[in-house]
Chains A and B, each alone.
Chain A
Amino acid sequence: MKNFKQIALGLVVGAMAIGFSSFTTAKKFASVTYYQLSQDNYTKLTSPSGNCDPLQSKPHACTITYATDPGVASFTYSARPSGGSESATKEIWEQ
């Protein structure tokens, strides 16, 4: 009985883990990401190719992600739509 309870509790925790995980992953899928293609140009791409050099791009971020689509194809860093989540400079987005 004790073992049965522990397994049941474990399964509840497993279901919660999958639930939370799909929630965060779904949020990521719904978001729109703009990639830095040159020093001061961010473009909306679904399949980027190229490389963001975090050293050269300082202080700019390699990617800027929006929870909802701002509706523009590209923008410069200074004229970026508000509410974006900037990646840390540590990140690369493609090799």
Chain B
Amino acid sequence: MESRIIMKRRFALTESTKEWLITAIRLVCMFLFLYTAYAKLVDHDRFLKGLSGVHLISGLAVFISWFVPLIEILTFILLLIPYTAKSGLYLFLAMMVVFTGYISGVLLWAKTIPCHCGGVIENLSWTQHLWFNLAFIGLAIIALRLHKSNNQ
């Protein structure tokens, strides 16, 4: 019994390590969203054209083409301010889940698959893209769990 307790303590992260990990994950998420938001806004015509090519969402293409980068910038701002970082992580997680759902939907139902993700991420294959998104979902979940355990 005693040895079990010792083992648990050995693998427990210190408060400062947890804080460092949360900050690192926040910064990575911030980089990703601002990077892609900027690419979508600078090359907006191409992004809009790509969205219009997907039958499932073509009716909402104009709205989505502005809404997605703006929400990404809002997420960046929320993640930037330490006081709102937790809300930012929740919004980031929600957005990534929606993006992953969209990719899965496009892979399953769309006849043709255009890519309009922004920046170098466009070079990923769709399976790689799916894993990429899942990795970021995992990171956001880890950060939120660490946040929770840090506050306890």
Contact = CB atoms under 8 A, between A and B. Distances in A.
A10 B35 contact: no
B81 A14 contact: no
B23 A6 contact: yes
Nearest to B28: A13
16 contacts: A6-B23, A13-B30, A17-B30, A17-B31, A20-B35, A21-B118, A21-B119, A22-B38, A22-B42, A24-B39, A25-B38, A25-B43, A90-B115, A90-B126, A91-B113, A95-B112
B120 interface: yes
B113 A90 contact: yes
A88 B49 CA distance: 18
B45 to A, nearest CB: 10
Given A17-B31, A20-B35, A22-B38, A10 B79 contact: yes
A54 to B, nearest CB: 7
Chain A contact residues: helix, strand, loop or mixed: helix
B82 A3 contact: yes
B100 interface: no
B39 A25 contact: yes
Nearest to B46: A28
B34 interface: yes
Contact of B82 (A6, A16, A24, A91): A6
Contacts of A91: 113-115
Interface string B27-41: 100111011101100
